[in-house]
A and B are shown apart, each in its own frame.
Chain A
């Protein structure tokens, strides 16, 4: 079984979290560089993991770097950008086979950590710039990725609603930034952004697996030793307690099916217990195949192709998103709100509540079954400043009462209705 999380400080602004777990066959080590979301630097930071993945000291180009990964028994390299609250996270991670399976007796934890450290600290930068060709290709790929976001209309609509509800809070911006910003970057400005990232980032290193974490910790400690850095604190998202009025935003595209997103404020939570109640309420409302929204809006009335609710405790936002024919938009909206009203009035079966609780517990228990989900779980909570284990969250979930769920539903206020729909001149069906 997974041991408890062990945290140690390796240097100023650098912490190591270790989850030792003998059942896994691979070890996963990630170096997370965390800086505030800032409209000025989002795109540059989003480009960095792609550029850092192109080569490093000792493996000067992409081919050499990949050959090194192959030699480490197909180690996989994670280079990614994400966000949590008001923070942008640049991740360089490596997953290596556990030493006990190495055919030649290699020390893979140590060798993997050394490679990760070189990718973080010694990317290929010459004369103060990333190699021009690599830079051009990766910037174009970033621009393409940003522009392709519109292809997936469901995800895009949710993202737009979140952005609108942010009212300028950097925490609500998109993790890749904008195409215009990406276009303005140069091979030199990207290298400047890299230096700034290393200087300012709070660093969270996470190790999950059966291997000896001290091997990784020594390598990382050495890598950060003697560096004069200026890391800042983590930034929480700005939580708006209540919606004062409903904002309606419609955007038109060349689409057959409309997407509607209802964004609610859930209030400033009094404590973790209220957050857990909100989580269970959301699942009951629209988080499972036996939820109110699924059974009524989708199955019974066939108003939507999909209709689901999600709750983001970091921003205190609950969203319902659905795919709907244009002629059904108003009917779907009033039914979605009517189902919330049902929960507010306590019109739900105890059996459904218990089934929902069971399903949430199931997914919480499953967190400990893959290194990746364990890493995500703990990193998210470390940044939030409140570390609880999945087991603790299960106990909290068991304690939530029916009244607390009704109370949670009554906390919720509608803030924004975002509609992505067909152009006005196209046929209305």
Chain B
């Protein structure tokens, strides 16, 4: 069993990476003094993976929303749903699907070994029949309709649809009522066999547990799998955005907006690491310490709900500014002006240093929390970086790095505004 210790010089702590004989990668970080153990079993299969091939086989197109559908179905087994099994161990369990991954998780303070076995069994024992698939289509259909009415969700996906022309990131994670109607038990098994091969997965655990218990449980439950090579379709995304402005009417008190800048996407790993720099640059453009934030706030154009975020993954990188405003178009205009002005005059050394320290302090916090540590290790394995790399990157980041990010990833020709407004104002 290949075992590697990964340590952080800055924090004086580390985690262990094990290549288990079954093919599964284990990322294990026992954390002294914590009561909770938090475990994530994840695969690099998200909503964007809607076309793939196995080995040298041909490319298969699967219905949108299938990764999420698969997550729902795996959460059930022949013995009933996972919640019932976890109820016996007292663990709290869940699962989620995002653009680039699916994860099954639990948190517990006691009877860790039993909960872990439930998790391993759950994910490695697929059970789909046409009948259970049919039932799930009804349940997920309701979930999709609920999201259709959710203003925060809509304003976000409308933005992605405006920025991207081809990339499947523009499609709702759960798919549509029509697309999931095309899902069958056979298709689910096909996806499962491609993406749930242990060689393509990671088990990440942080907090109160012992490494020995994890290895023993894996030895007992996991059957070695021959590696499969899964290729997903290369996304041909044009540089240009689809449209600069999109608006929808829904029941909201104050209009919601999201402004996005389509970044220059590189490799998965590069995009994820660039996120760290991106967050810092977003702060320098319109964070609470900037003159621009203050002007917008004092003029009543934004309120305390205003926030910035960077979203990165395979072939995508987006910088987002979101909030509530009585005049989202004015915010859009001021923000793009602000970006251009900062590009022209450059970031000052003093501002950069302050923002770098702030980001550094926040990132240290990630490693002091069992949930965020486990999440970081999942991403580290899937996108192929060391879990402490983001912190080291911040420790050594230079003003030039930030300037370069600002130049490359904030093109005011490649940005869009998404608005959701109440019917009374439309």
Residues of chain A whose beta carbon lies under 8 Å from any beta carbon of chain B: 1-2, 21-26, 61-63, 66-67, 69-75, 96-97, 101, 103, 133, 137, 140-141, 144, 147-148, 151, 288-290, 351, 355, 358-359, 361-363, 365-366, 368-370
Contacts and interface: CB of A to CB of B under 8 A. Distances in A.
Interface string B273-309: 0000000000000011111011001101001100000
Per CB-CB distance, the 9 closest pairs between chain A and chain B, nearest first, are A73-B361, A358-B90, A23-B33, A74-B358, A25-B368, A74-B361, A365-B109, A70-B358, A66-B289
A63 B303 contact: no
A66 B288 contact: yes
Interface string B1-45: 000000000110000000000000000000111111000000000
Contact of B297 (A62, A67, A75, A361): A62
Given A26-B368, A144-B254, 11 more contacts: A23-B31, A23-B368, A26-B364, A63-B293, A73-B361, A74-B358, A96-B361, A101-B10, A133-B298, A362-B108, A363-B92
B90 A69 contact: no
30 contacts: A1-B33, A23-B32, A24-B368, A25-B364, A62-B297, A67-B289, A70-B354, A70-B355, A72-B361, A73-B357, A74-B357, A74-B360, A75-B361, A137-B298, A137-B303, A144-B254, A147-B253, A290-B84, A351-B88, A358-B89, A358-B111, A359-B92, A361-B109, A362-B92, A362-B109, A362-B110, A365-B35, A365-B36, A365-B109, A365-B110
A103 B368 contact: no
A355 B90 contact: yes
Contact of B294 (A61, A72, A366): A61
B356 to A, nearest CB: 9
A288 B87 contact: yes
A140 B300 contact: yes
B218 interface: no
A26 B36 CA distance: 18
B365 A26 contact: yes
A133 B111 CA distance: 56
B34 A369 contact: yes
A148 B289 CA distance: 27
Contacts of B303: 137, 141, 144
B111 to A, nearest CB: 8
Contacts of B272: none
A362 B290 CA distance: 43
A369 B34 CA distance: 6
A67 B88 contact: no
Nearest to A356: B87
Nearest to B109: A365
Contacts of A151: 253
B363 to A, nearest CB: 9
A369 B253 contact: no
B243 to A, nearest CB: 29
Contacts of A133: 298
Contact of A63 (B10, B35, B253, B290): B290
Contacts of B368: 23-26
Contacts of B290: 63
Contacts of A147: 253
B53 interface: no
A366 B358 contact: no
Interface of B: 10-11, 31-36, 83-84, 87-92, 107-111, 207, 253-254, 287-291, 293-294, 297-298, 300, 303-304, 354-355, 357-362, 364-365, 367-370, 395
B357 A70 contact: yes
Contacts of B297: 62, 137
The residue among B88, B91, B287 with the most chain A CB atoms within 10 A of its own CB is B88
Contacts of B360: 73-74, 103
B291 A63 contact: yes
A63 B83 contact: no
Contacts of A75: 361
The residue among A351, A366, A370 with the most chain B CB atoms within 10 A of its own CB is A366
Contact of A362 (B31, B90, B395): B90
Contacts of A73: 357-358, 360-361, 364
Contacts of B108: 362
Contacts of B365: 25-26, 97
A418 to B, nearest CB: 22
Contacts of A289: 83-84, 87
B89 A71 contact: no
A33 to B, nearest CB: 21
